[in-house]
Each structure stands twice: as structure tokens, then as C-alpha cells.
Amino acid sequence: MSADKIALPAMRCATLLTHVAEQVGVDAVSRDGSRLCCEVYPDPALRRWTDHAPEGLARRESYKGRAAAEKRIALLSALRAQLPLDDTDRLLEKVGLQDDYLDALICALVARAVELEQTYGPETKAELERAQVEGWIHLPSAALENLGAARISG
């Protein structure tokens, strides 16, 4: 069996979702993201929240990899300008070390947006039916500042 860059995380996700369904109930992992679990791609969410900022992502500019540490720090600054993040443990300093830290932050912020119904969800019956089978990727529909203050803790 072969696993490329997306296959391995997909397999891990399937295992995690199976465990959540067993522990909490199958409804918790509704594919449309309307329950406990939601599908998030950090890059497009980050673009939506930083498009207006000079630190935002240009079309082909990436924040991935060791060489992009300064880009990630600038993006974090743009996010923090919109949303107060209480980081008394200074965990956000890790964003410069590895892109996974920024991805995790963005995923958590989008999950909060889902909870507050501030993402684009399936609107038509056909979209809802398709989302139940294929899944639904949540993108923020509101400004980051609408999430309220957040506390970062380890």
C-alpha cells in the first residue's frame, strides 16, 4: 500500500473519527461538519482572514517550510491585530519554528467559527446531501474579530 502526503493524514483522520463515533456517537462526526467534528483547510481560511493585510498571503506565496518562518510570524501578527489572543504561556512563539503550529491555530479558530455559525455551510438540499457523503470544508464567513477574545493554553 502506498501513502502520499495527503493519504496518511486521511487515514489517521478516519481512525480518529471512528474513535469519536464510538465514544460520543455517530452523529458527532456528521460529514457536513454540523456536529462535533468539522473539516478545515487552514490555508484558505488564513487567506480569507489576512487578504486585506500587507502580511497576507499573495497568490503563490507560502507560509510552509523552515524558510518561511518570517512569513508565519507576520501572518500571526496580522491575526493578532484582528483578534486578541491571550498567550500567557507564550505558545504562539512556536509559530516561527514550524508551519504545523500556525495550521493548528487556524484550525482551532475555524472550529470556533463553526461553533458560532460563522462559516459557509451547505445551503441547498443538494449541497447538504452531497456534504453528507463527501464532507464539507468550512471557510469563515465573518471577520476574525467576531470570534471574541481567545485564550491559548497548552
pLDDT tens-digit map of 72-98 = 999 999 999 999 888 899 999 999 999
- Name the average pLDDT for the chain: 88
Cell 464539507 belongs to 136
**DSSP reduced 3-state for 137:** strand
pLDDT in tens, 28-51: 998 888 888 999 999 999 999 998
Q: In 2-98, where does DSSP find H-type helix?
A: 7-24, 42-50, 69-82
> How far out from the chain centre does Cα 97 lie?
19
84-88, 95-99, 100-104, 136-140, range with the lowest pLDDT: 84-88
Integer Rg of the chain from CA: 16
Whole-structure pTM value: 0.85
